[in-house]
Amino acid sequence: MRILAFLACLVLCPSAASAQEPARALTQTIAVWQMDALGIEPEIVTRLESLFRNELERLSGKQLPSQRAMNRTLGRRLSRCDGATNCLAAIGKKLGVDLVVSGNIAQLGDSYVVNLKVIDVANKTEVRRIASDPLRGNADELIEAVRVAAYRLVAPDELLGSIAVLTDLVGADVTLDGNPKGKTPLKQDMVDLELGDHTLRVTADNHSPFEETVHVRFQKTTRVVVRLIKADLVPIVITPIDPNETRPPPDRWYNSTWFYVSVGVGAVLLGGYVGYELAHDDVIDCGASPMSCN
């Protein structure tokens, strides 16, 4: 059931995913040599290869030669090409195209990896080679990876996306990766952005700033809802303590001058009292009155 659902999505999803047309068509003609299936259902690879061809046809504006037509034209020797640069260049020369693409889709456990390369026929050189990140067995991810692979191979400048900022605050400053983009509401989305993470920051007077990392996807518009919080409370400023700073010991009550004066006066009074008491004690002279000492 999982394979059937996977294949069904590969058939139905591309039409919706491919609605956005590329900004410009390629001038080179292209042929796609067979994609090998490594540890994966061959029917899945066939569907993905069809999707890949569709993307290249949209980029080039021309129909690519089918596998059957290539086999009829190439003959037995070239039809056995193992993907080496020289034989791919020979295939391209025989077909009369500028570029030849070849590769494989491999399954590693629960993940898939797309490996592709493009050959310049005239120069017999490898122009570019790509390998996708491991993709979990999700049809949508694999479809997008194949579409991105087509652009990365032959039109990397077209790997773009956009960001839309949605907020009810008027006049807030918007910056992306430190570059000012205007004030809210923006007149248009931020377009032609490179794929990957971007830092979005929105600020306004008397409001706490908004900052978020936004991931831009291929030919997608990432919408970010911004809600700035009004700064009504006065912030409490806490001065950090330097651990290397030498501070005097805290004052104690027994270290004060009044304590020492009080102790001195008490000692004088105590000494006078003891002397007074000793002066008034009865003294018995045992030599003069022996009977009193018995």
Tens digit of pLDDT for each residue in 182-235? 999 999 999 999 989 999 999 999 899 999 999 998 888 999 999 888 876 545
Per-residue HEC secondary structure of 225-240 comes to: ECCCCECCCCCCCCCC
224's CB contacts (< 8 A; 6+ apart) are: 163, 164, 165, 166, 200, 212, 214
* Interatomic CA distance for residues 174 and 181, integer angstroms: 5
12's CB contacts (< 8 A; 6+ apart) are: none
pLDDT, tens only, 65-116: 888 888 888 877 887 888 889 999 999 999 999 999 998 888 878 788 888 9
* Interatomic CA distance for residues 15 and 18, integer angstroms: 5
* Interatomic CA distance for residues 226 and 235, integer angstroms: 22
CATH of 24-158, one of 3.40.50.1000, 3.40.50.300, 3.40.1160.10, 3.40.50.10070: 3.40.50.10070
CB of 111 closer than 8 Å to CB of 137: yes
Please determine whether the domains at 24-158 and 160-225 fall in the same fold group of CATH.
Answer: no
pLDDT: which is higher, 246 or 219 = 219
pLDDT, tens only, 249-283: 555 555 566 556 565 656 656 566 555 554 554 44
pLDDT, tens only, 3-16: 444 444 544 454 44
CA 204 to chain CA centroid, nearest Å: 26
Mention the CATH class of domain 160-225: mainly beta
What are the structural domain ranges in the chain?
24-158, 160-225
Task: Check: pTM over 0.85? Answer yes or no.
Answer: no
pLDDT at 1: 41
